[in-house]
Structure 1
Amino acid sequence: MKKRVLSNIVSRGFGKFASHRFHPLLQKFINTSYVKLLKLDMEEFRDPKEYESLNALFTRALQKRRDIEEGIIAPTDSLITHAGILEQNRALQIKGMQYSIDELLIECDASRVYNGEYVNCYLSPRDYHRYHMPYTLQIKRVVHVPGKLYPVNLRYLRKKLNLFIENERVILECETKEGKTLFIVLVGALNVGQMTLVFESRIETNRAKEIAIYEYKDLWLQKGELLGYFKMGSTVLLFFEKDFCELVVQSNTTVKFGQQIAKVKYGE
């Protein structure tokens, strides 16, 4: 409990600093220093000096339109820490570190994706922090699960068992027009003060204490459409119904939003 409280307090404190608008000269210094320190590639974005806060820089929008490839696309610019096929209900957080998707996908019917494909996308602090729809999907329900905010970098993935299960997360239960199930899981992390969804303002991450469920009747988002953003790097997990798709990416590779990560067997 103490670890949860400490990590959440630290994250809220960092969030206040990052969202504060300092004097323009100081803000320009903070922004440019952050870009230089992490060696951010700003070619597709505005000049770092133009962002009014560090959070505005973190959550920066693309200024150039990305090409959207066929099939299922990467929802983020990220490192694929692991991609593979579930062994019944078991997934790998990283090689050699298993966890149960029944525990991860709480309040959902995880059995719908048993033995299906899955992809773990890790966003580092230097990555583009917005996440997009990997496919055209109907969002049936969203489950917000409060939890801890452990780091989700490679070091922690290798040493902390059940990291994704213990951390705060937002689960999107989705369906294709053919009726195939896909889960999108947004995982919180240290210094990630907020995970947002463009269609749901009621979710307050790093604040709530109880699980909350939101249901929708006819909510569709198109492939490539903006879904939301992290206010620092974190992780997006994708779980697909068995035989819906065939992965074309491998573990330990980097991807860009819009790049194909799987071929679809039904539909597109």
Structure 2
Amino acid sequence: MSRDPITALTYVLPHRVLSGLARRLAYSEHPAVSRWLIDTVVRRFDVDLAEAAASDPRAYASFNAFFTRALREGVHVADPAPDALLMPADGRISQCGPIGHPDERGRIFQAKGRSFTTTELLGDAAAAEAFDEGTFATVYLSPRDYHRVHMPWTGRLRETVHIPGRLFSVGTSAVAAVPRLFARNERLVCHFDTDFGPMAMVMVGALLVSGVETVWSGVEIPKYARSITRKDYRGRDIVVERFAEMARFNYGSTVIVLLPPGVADLVPGLAPEQVTRVGQRLATMRPR
């Protein structure tokens, strides 16, 4: 167990009970509750409301409405180059690189010598095989960030997989201390078919995160899962365009992008702790 007392405490906390309570507060439209929560987060995390479509914090009926706020048109601009695969979220890079780093087939680097397998993350060995020796990028969204996740590339939705798990914090200290954290937390795996092959977008839940919503199905988490739940979207022709919103978090968390081998190269110099913006170049597509 970690020597960090806060991270150590999360091993024994009732994760879902706490997240359920946080959800009730987040959705409360009682003015005193919503105003206190919004003002606290704006002040503590230095939230830039000038970017928001509604810059007045009193314009939001609940804390969740504030947290999942839309931004003004033009705040995000997609890299115009046709070979630019885009960053999915505002936040910062947690880790990125080859799947198999360092020389461990099928493993994704987490932090400080910790890693987990693609099979563990996706809950499916067959699906994971398509990403062997491919590329990953893990983006952490802090409480100050815009909490909508956008598509790096145009994709046709094939399947979602809701995988049950814990709700550990995904902050820096927890990522460094909790083994296989992203493969242990509750998450929604979204599989897309693209013109270069499969692409997976993994929405990872965290402590006090009340939910994940998608643009095609609405609320996916909660209800918190007790077993793996799959939804097959083949034949329904759900296409989400490059740069379009695909999902959102209620409170900060993490999105992981998985790409198959040989299709794209990460932007040179992209490194942990680097600040990210929706629409900037994440990777450059190779000629096909």
Structure 2 portions without partners, runs of 5+: 1-9
Q: Which residue identity does 1:19 align to in structure 2?
A: Y
Match of 2:208 among 188, 191, 210: 191
Question: 1:266–1:136: structure 2 CA closer, same or farther, 3 Å change rule?
Answer: farther
| Kept after mapping to 1: 8 A contact 2:211/2:220 | no
| Kept after mapping to 2: 8 A contact 1:32/1:49 | no
Question: 1:184–1:4: structure 2 CA closer, same or farther, 3 Å change rule?
Answer: farther
Instruction: State how 1:21-100 maps to structure 2 within 5 Å.
Output: 21-23=29-31, 27-45=34-52, 46=54, 47-65=56-74, 66-69=76-79, 70=81, 71-87=84-100, 88-100=105-117
- Is 1:149 the counterpart of 2:158? The answer is no
Cα deviation, residue 39, structure 1: 0.8
| Kept after mapping to 2: 8 A contact 1:224/1:258 | yes
| Aligned partner of residue 63 in structure 1, secondary structure | coil
Instruction: State how 1:153-164 maps to structure 2 within 5 Å.
Output: 153-164=171-182
| Kept after mapping to 1: 8 A contact 2:210/2:221 | no
Q: Which residue identity does 1:258 align to in structure 2?
A: G
Distance 2:27 2:33 in 1: 14
Question: 1:4–1:130: structure 2 CA closer, same or farther, 3 Å change rule?
Answer: farther
Instruction: State how 1:74-223 maps to structure 2 within 5 Å.
Output: 74-87=87-100, 88-107=105-124, 109-178=127-196, 180-201=197-218, 203-216=220-233, 217=235, 218-223=237-242
The Cα offsets for residues 58-101 of structure 1, whole Å up to 9 and x where unpaired, read as 11111223210131111110110111101120111124211111
Q: State the TM-score, normalizing by the size of structure 1.
A: 0.93
| Kept after mapping to 2: 8 A contact 1:142/1:213 | yes
Q: Which residue identity does 2:251 align to in structure 1?
A: M
The Cα offsets for residues 170-218 of structure 1, whole Å up to 9 and x where unpaired, read as 001112124x111110100001110111102373435231211011122
Identity of aligned residues (%): 28
Q: Which residue identity does 2:139 align to in structure 1?
A: C
- Is 1:8 the counterpart of 2:29? The answer is no
Question: 1:86–1:36: structure 2 CA closer, same or farther, 3 Å change rule?
Answer: same
Distance 2:284 2:194 in 1: 14
Question: 1:106–1:4: structure 2 CA closer, same or farther, 3 Å change rule?
Answer: farther
| Kept after mapping to 2: 8 A contact 1:82/1:119 | yes
- Report how many residues are paired: 264
| Aligned partner of residue 19 in structure 2, secondary structure | helix
Question: 1:55–1:64: structure 2 CA closer, same or farther, 3 Å change rule?
Answer: same
| Kept after mapping to 2: 8 A contact 1:8/1:206 | no
The Cα offsets for residues 192-248 of structure 1, whole Å up to 9 and x where unpaired, read as 110111102373435231211011122211011111211100000011100110000
The Cα offsets for residues 26-54 of structure 1, whole Å up to 9 and x where unpaired, read as 64344233211211111111221211111
Q: State the TM-score, normalizing by the size of structure 2.
A: 0.87
| Aligned partner of residue 109 in structure 1, secondary structure | helix
What's the RMSD between the two structures over aligned residues? 1.8
| Kept after mapping to 1: 8 A contact 2:209/2:251 | yes
Could you list the runs of 4 or more consecutive aligned residues of structure 1 that deviate by over 3 angstroms after TM superposition?
A: 2-5, 25-30
| Kept after mapping to 1: 8 A contact 2:41/2:144 | no
Structure 1 portions without partners, runs of 5+: none
Cα deviation, residue 139, structure 1: 1.3
